[in-house]
Amino acid sequence: MFTSKYDVGEMNGKAISYQEFQKKIDYFTKIQQMATGQTSLDERGQEMVNESAWQDLLSENVLIPAIEEAGLAVGEEELVDLTQGTAISPVLMREQTFMGQNGTFDRSRLVEFIKAIPSDESGSLELYWSYLEKSIKNDQMFTKYISLLDKSTFNTPVETKRVLAENNITADVSFIIQPFGFMPDTTVTVSQQEIKDYYSKNKSKFEMNASRDIDYVVFEVIPSAEDVRLAKEDIEKVYEEFATTTNLRTFLARNSEKQLSDYMFKEGELSALSPVLDSFAFNAPVTAVLPVFQEGNTFRAARINAIKSLPDSVFVEHILLDNTDPVAAQAKADSLISLIDKGLDFKVLAAENSLDQNPNVAPGELGWMTQIMKLPGLDTCFNAQLNRPIKVATNYGLHIVKTSKKTAPLKKVQLAILEKSAVASKMTFQEYYSKANELASKSDGKIEKFREAVKEMNLAIIPAVGIQEGAKTVATYNNARPLSRWIYEAKKGDVSQIISLDNKYFFVVAVTGTREAGIQSLEAMKENIKSVLMMEKTNEKFFQTVKERLAGITNIESAAEILGTTVSRQSGVSFGAIGSQSMDPVFIGAVAGAEENKLTGPVKGNLGIYLFNVDARNQGEFFTEQDAKMRNGQIFSFKLQQIQSILEKRADVKDSRLKFF
């Protein structure tokens, strides 16, 4: 069919226009905002919306139609039962909106939500409910389809019996291996006809995604000596106030790139930021001040704000109370603390009174906490006396908290850091931009002129190969979407104008190679094929050499002496035995079919050449019917993972989102 350059994709012959996709983006943006309560989305949130919109289109145009072809459907009564009846959908069970205070599904919240829809003049609740209903229907369709596939995949009793027999017979083997090398034999030759024949027989192996190769020159904007001098001057202006202020938090918020952190550092933790800071923090008294020092283009000063002896981690238990009525909550907490002080079991009281009824842990148990991994608001646990219950109010409610275990206390320091980095000035930016612009102008969009200009300006060309469409990272540079987008708009031999990344790097790029999605041409793959054939021929030549040297040998010890190696022994060899997954499958297969007590080989495996003797076979019971079921389950899971890509390939799905988003 005819497609427009403004289409973002194609599914089952239907073009997905930019406008249609943008409508989906707008729709899922509203859904995401309602689900998170955020009015704007960060880059990660926007990517999630983009993917949700695309997956919704895939469901509508590819996945659901394929499932319907199999004769499956979700009826109206079934949908009602999934949303309001006895078989509540997992979609609703997972929905945060309908979670109760104990973190599990609360049907009353679902009922309240549905009742509120008619009176919601904004229409937001109706919009969100329609989204949930569609998700429920799709989820049920997918569940039925998986069930259908599962029931159509089974082993007969005869097949199961054969699998058990094959995998429970193991072999004790004496063997020698001559491993293949990693480099091809330079005397081996490969003809053009052999390359053509290999290409014809293995075309499907050469199906690849589109990729591009480039040469580039990058101008990194680095602060000048003058920029560094100004940064030093700026920090020295405020240093005296930093050393004496009584309000470090406010001062640093106004004057420093690094704000005051409540984190208490132990010795060694600051080394990653600055060894100078770490050494100062643990060799100076509280209120001591470290004068301004320079590391790279960053200037710092530091002041010790607190020194404490604290554990790295604490084991915490709690009873969570509803704090909507603070007076009542305080009274109940005091009553429970009185009972705890009298010797009543904390866990019993937590089971009877706490809103937190996590079924996966003992009643009241929050577990081990660190400064990083802790419940917000429970910092006091690190200073609390062991087994002494205290009251702590957080956003979750009113907690009765008990610290029951601690790791050994360590010296820890809270450090205030005054930090200023040298920033490139407008003049510095202009200098780098002018250099990049000179290269781009001299290149005039042509790769020959680009290379001439690079030599003339004494610059370094850096190659990058195999760049995927829409790549976010090119070479070691992140946020490179503008770069990869231009690369795919250009032709081989084109040279870019200046491409700016992160307002810090100026690129001039030349496209040196292009490969479109699909089966690659013989010309594009011939060097790869030549390398494969050279290794195959090298291994075959090695095999024939070993075979000739072992001609007439009937004893494995003699073979080992001729080859200058030793005999290894392995027991319990079979495809189902533990540890066999790490062995060469060609070797295991040869052992399975070999005669007992007869020298077999040489056999050319994947890793090398084998000569072996099956010393004995043993009948075991280590591979059970349960193991066979687990293996079938793993195979089925693997097949499930392939379903969407298979259906997408059948529908000839083309994804061009990266041109626009």
495 near 510, Cβ under 8 Å?
A: yes
Tokens for 288? 């001591």
- CA distances in angstroms from 639 to 160, 179, 375, 644, 645, listed in the order given: 20, 34, 40, 10, 11
Q: Produce one character per residue of 386-401: b if its CB has 16 or more CB atoms within 10 Å, e if not.
A: eeebbbbeeebbbbbb
What is the reported pLDDT for 574? 80
* pLDDT confidence tier of residue 579, bands split at 50, 70 and 90: low
Flag the least confident range among 11-20, 106-115, 453-462, 588-597.
106-115
Q: How much is the average pLDDT of 607-619?
A: 92
pLDDT digits (tens, 9 = 90+) for 224-244: 999 999 999 999 999 999 999
Q: Is 490 helix (H, G, I), strand (E, B) or coil?
A: coil
pLDDT at residue 103 greater than cutoff 80: no
364 near 318, Cβ under 8 Å?
A: yes
Q: How much is the average pLDDT of 139-154?
A: 90
Residue count of the chain, please give it: 661
pLDDT digits (tens, 9 = 90+) for 505-523: 999 999 999 988 889 899 9
The runs of H, that is alpha helices, within 354-462 are 426-443, 447-456
Bigger pLDDT: 375 or 74? 74
The runs of H, that is alpha helices, within 152-224 are 157-168, 192-201
At the top level of CATH, which class does the domain 210-222+424-516 belong to? alpha beta
Q: Residue 180's Cα: distance from chain center in Å?
A: 35
Beta carbons within 10 angstroms of residue 326's beta carbon: 10
Instruction: State the Cα angle at 573 between 159 and 587, rounded to 5°.
Output: 95
pLDDT digits (tens, 9 = 90+) for 35-58: 877 777 887 888 899 999 999 999
Backbone phi and psi for residue 403, each to the nearest 5 degrees, phi listed first: -90, 110
Report the DSSP beta bridge partners of residue 215. Answer: 463, 510
Q: How much is the average pLDDT of 141-150?
A: 92
pLDDT at residue 547 greater than cutoff 70: yes
Mean predicted lDDT score pLDDT of the chain: 91
Report the DSSP beta bridge partners of residue 77. Answer: none
Flag the least confident range among 382-386, 416-420, 476-480, 582-586.
582-586
CA dihedral over 53, 56, 57, 58, signed as positive or negative: positive
pLDDT at residue 599 greater than cutoff 70: yes
Most confident segment among 41-50, 94-103, 274-283 = 274-283
Bigger pLDDT: 573 or 78? 78
pLDDT at residue 576 greater than cutoff 70: no
Tokens for 328? 């009542």
**Dist CA 460 CA 453 (whole Å):** 11
Beta carbons within 10 angstroms of residue 85's beta carbon: 11
Q: CATH classification of 313-407 is 3.90.1170.50, yes or no?
A: no
What is the reported pLDDT for 2? 45
Q: HSE (CB half, 13 Å, CA atoms) of 654?
A: 19
Provide, rounded to the nearest whole percent, the portion of the chain with pLDDT above 90. Answer: 70
Tokens for 391? 């009251």
What is the reported pLDDT for 4? 64
pLDDT digits (tens, 9 = 90+) for 324-350: 999 999 999 999 999 999 999 999 999
What is the reported pLDDT for 52? 94
What is the reported pLDDT for 621? 67
* pLDDT confidence tier of residue 660, bands split at 50, 70 and 90: confident
What is the reported pLDDT for 374? 84
What is the reported pLDDT for 314? 94
Q: How much is the average pLDDT of 516-534?
A: 92
* pLDDT confidence tier of residue 317, bands split at 50, 70 and 90: very high
Any idea what DSSP says for residue 386?
Answer: B
